[in-house]
Structures are given as C-alpha cells and as structure tokens.
Amino acid sequence: MSEVEELALSTPAAIKPPVDLADMAHKEFRDDDYWRVIPAYANLGTDEFNDHRFQSRNSITSLKKLQQVVGNLVPDSFYQDVEKGLALSPMSVRISPYLMSLIDWTNPATDPLRIQFLPMGSRMLPDHPELALDSLHEQEDSPVPGLTHRYADRALFLTLDTCPVYCRFCTRSYAVGLDTEEVEKVHFGAIVDRWEQVFAYIESRPELEDIVISGGDVANLKAEHIEYIGDRLLKIDHVRRMRYATKAPAIMPQKLITDTGWVDALTRVVDKGRKLHKEVVLHTHFNHPHEISDISRRGLNRLMERGIVVRNQMVLQRGVNDDVETLHLLIRRLSYINVHPYYTFVHDMVRGVEELRTTLGAALDLEKQVRGRTAGYNTPTFVLDTMGGGGKRNVHSYEHYDRETGIAVFTSPTVRPGELFYYFDPIDELDPLSAKRWHNPTERKSMLQAALDLASCP
Ligand code: SF4
C-alpha cells in the first residue's frame, strides 16, 4: 500500500481525501542543464549561463543569429517560415538564451514559447478589419511624451522603449523595439530631460496617486535610473503607489540573481516607500508554466526576502495558455513562488498576431473554470482593454456580446461616460457564415450598427 493510500485510509471520512501526487506538478521546477540541448550552448557551465550579462549579450536578434544558435535542430523550411513571419511582423525579434533553451525544438510550431516570441509566416492570419496599430489609443491620452493619463487617479509612465525581449503580442508595438519592415515607431528614449516633463505633469495633477513605471521594460534601465525615478516620484506628496513593470522574472530570471546593483536599487526604493507609507511593487508578465524554472524560483525568493511584492499580468493567447489545465498550472506555480496572479488579459487588438487572439467567449468560459480553484487573492481577474480608449473592463461586464458575429460592446462610465467601445473576436474563430459576413462591407456595417443598437437598449 502506498503512503498516499495509507494516509487516505487513516483520514476521517468527513475530510477531503489527499489529492493525487501527480496533481502537484506546480511544485516541480526544472533544474537540469536544459540549455545544453542548444548546439551553441552545449558547452556552457551553470555559472556562465545563469549570468544576466551572458543572457543580454547573447540574445537572438536576427534570423542569422537564430540559425547560428539552433543550427540543424530544425529543418531549413522552419527558418524560411520564420523569415516570412519576420517580414510581416510589427515587432522586431529579441529572445533571451533562457527562453531559447526552454523551447521544444523538436516541435517548435506548437511550442508555447516559440509562439509568443518568434513568428512563423505559415501560421499568421490577416488582421481583423477593425484593428489599428495603437488600438488602445494610448497616444491620444498622452499629455506629455511618454505619459498616458487615462484613468482618474493613475498614469502610465513609459520610461524607455526597449526591452530585454520583444513579445509578439505587445500592445505597444507602435513604440517598443526597433522599426521593422512593417512599422516606423514612435520612440521614447531613456532621457532624463523627457522624464522631467513627465514628473512636472504628475506634480501638477494632485489626483495622480498611482504611477505605473513601464516602457519598454524597466529591466533595461540602469540601477541609478531605477533609483532616480523612484526617489523623484516618492518625493511627490500625492503619489502613494508605484509599480515597476518588468518581464525580467519571466524571460531572464538571471537578472534577479546576478544583477545585484539593479535589485539593490529597487530594494532601496521599496524600503524608502515603506518608511513613507507608500507602496512600491513589481509587476511582471508570466504567460506559461514552462517559463518558470528553478532559477525563477530562486530569483523570486530573493525578492520575497527583500519584502518586494510581485504581481503578474498574463495575456491569454491561443495555443499558449487558452486551456484550463495550463492556466491552473500557471496560477498555482506562480502562487507557489509568491507571485500574485493579478490579471488575465484577453489579447489586445494588435497587428500581426491575429492567430494568437482568443474570443471573448473563450475567456468567459475559462474564467468560470479557474475561479474557486485557489484563494481569491491568487485568482486572476479576467479583463480586456477595449478598442478606442475605453480602458480595462471586466470580461463579464459587456453591454452586448454576440458569439456568432464576434462583436462585443462595452461602456466605460468612469473613463469615457456615455460612449460605447468595441472588442472583436478573431474572424477565423467564427462559424463560416458569420465569418463571410465580415468580408462584405455592407454586411459588416450593419453588424456593427446592430451591435451598438442592442448595447444601447435600456
Ligand atoms: S516586455 Fe512588455 S513592453 Fe516589452 S515587448 Fe514584451 S509586452 Fe511589450
């Protein structure tokens, strides 16, 4: 008789029986030399691979470099497919060796990490006809370059326009990363003079209590800039809450272990904030349980020891995390390493990634299955950012949603009262008859109008 069976027998009947140990996968963290499968990393030792400087210097930034690193693990046809994808993509490519090593190169087409960071032309779909490059209208709500002030008490500070990796699903593909064949971008350099305009605006608006310090990614700010921005904002009396946004824990956890200057600078800002009774936290961006390995656990433990609260904002993506088992595992693994799974975002209407978007209906169904699995504070709220600047809305709060046409309409009483905002399901997920209607301009107009009329009904 196994230990679990013995325990089950000795457990009073009224108590739930212990779960199968196979259901404890969230406690397992890869700690093998997984990178050695990549030809270019085959001889690397643990210390070298787990150094953030190695990770930054050796990121994959071109097709040529991808070929040099992955070599004959994949056929030529794969590289040709990626070349086609890159030509169509609004994001430039940048992938850390950490992510490269976690991709299953025996089956890259369906690998959840490949899907997020490396486009394959053969899998891409035409953009939705109602989509725009800055579909959330962040620039329209920008009083000074690099600051978006949309909500009453909070603002988004874009400190710079680079990241340690470039995600295909990025909402800010209009600004983040290098120009591509498809897109010439708005650029926000890490320049103190520009930041001063942002600070002056925040100082002039006493209602601003909460500042998201983002980008790009603050992992690319120097340690002294992390502290400079933090100190400058802490000095503004009405700023009560600050959130540094970085994807580093998910895509380059080595930074939390070996970039001591950066972590120390963040810790000092958090400590100073605490003494001033102001909250300073870190927001990050895990999307799949495979992104969490033993080095992630160690990095997050380090932040925990320093009293730094970490919250996660994941993006729902087709073929990546749009099934309940993957979501459960991600949420439980995050909770286990003290990362709060704060938000699950329905994929924004972004160019060049139509095959990644799910329907709103899929998000509604998943939410029902996720809620109740663990404590409420570790259960993400499912939200979507409406098109046209209505801001974040709870997925359940639509005024009208038709799963056949794929049109959802939301209101936004606190951001733009009296207006209506759309979200559209990807057309390839609709039934063929409804999909066909989208290709007829007259039909399309009438579907859009009918949705607005129904949403406006008292
Ligand atoms: S790290 Fe964030 S800002 Fe940078 S590309 Fe990814 S989603 Fe965009």
**Predicted pLDDT at 219:** 97
What residues does ligand 1 touch, defined as CB less than 6 Å away?
Answer: 163, 166-167, 170, 172, 176, 215-217, 247
Residue from 95, 166, 178, 214 to probe ligand 1 pocket by mutation (most atoms less than 8 Å from CB): 166
Known active-site residue 193: no
pLDDT in tens, the chain (458 residues): 677 677 666 766 667 788 888 789 999 999 999 999 999 999 999 999 999 999 999 999 999 999 999 999 999 999 999 999 999 998 889 999 999 999 999 999 999 999 999 999 999 999 999 987 566 666 778 899 999 998 889 999 999 989 999 999 888 766 676 666 565 656 666 688 889 999 999 999 999 999 999 988 999 999 999 999 999 999 999 999 999 999 999 999 999 999 999 999 999 999 999 999 999 999 999 999 999 999 999 999 999 999 999 999 999 999 999 999 999 999 999 999 999 999 999 999 988 999 999 999 999 999 999 999 899 999 999 999 998 888 899 999 999 999 999 999 999 999 899 999 999 999 999 999 999 999 999 999 999 999 999 999 76
Give DSSP secondary structure letters for 381-396.
EEEEEPTTS--EEEGG
Q: Is the separation of the CB atoms in 335 and 374 below 8 Å?
A: yes
What six digits make up the tokens of 168?
Answer: 């295909």
Domains of the chain: 34-122 (no CATH), 139-396 (3.20.20.70), 397-458 (no CATH)
Q: Is 310 helix (H, G, I), strand (E, B) or coil?
A: strand
**Predicted pLDDT at 342:** 97
Give the nearest ligand 1 atom to 171 CA: 8
CA-nearest of 49, 18, 17, 21 to 33 is 49
Q: Is the separation of the CB atoms in 364 and 55 below 8 Å?
A: no
**Predicted pLDDT at 91:** 85
CA-nearest of 249, 341, 245, 248 to 300 is 249
What six digits make up the tokens of 254?
Answer: 């080595």
Give the nearest ligand 1 atom to 251 CA: 1
Give the nearest ligand 1 atom to 163 CA: 4
Give the nearest ligand 1 atom to 215 CA: 3
**Predicted pLDDT at 175:** 64
**Predicted pLDDT at 18:** 81
Q: Which one of 94, 114, 172, 332 is the catalytic residue?
A: 172
Q: Whose CA is nearest to atom 8 of ligand 1?
A: 170
Known active-site residue 392: yes
pLDDT in tens, 287-338: 999 999 999 999 999 999 999 999 999 999 999 999 999 999 999 999 999 9
- Look at the block and give the residue holding tokens 């990796």: 165
* Element spanning 224, H or E: helix 223-234
Known active-site residue 437: no
Q: Whose CA is nearest to atom 5 of ligand 1?
A: 166
Known active-site residue 385: yes
pLDDT in tens, 351-365: 899 999 999 999 999
406 vs 382, 430, 436, 447, 458, CA distance in Å?
A: 18, 7, 12, 10, 22
Taking the model in full, what pTM does it have? 0.93
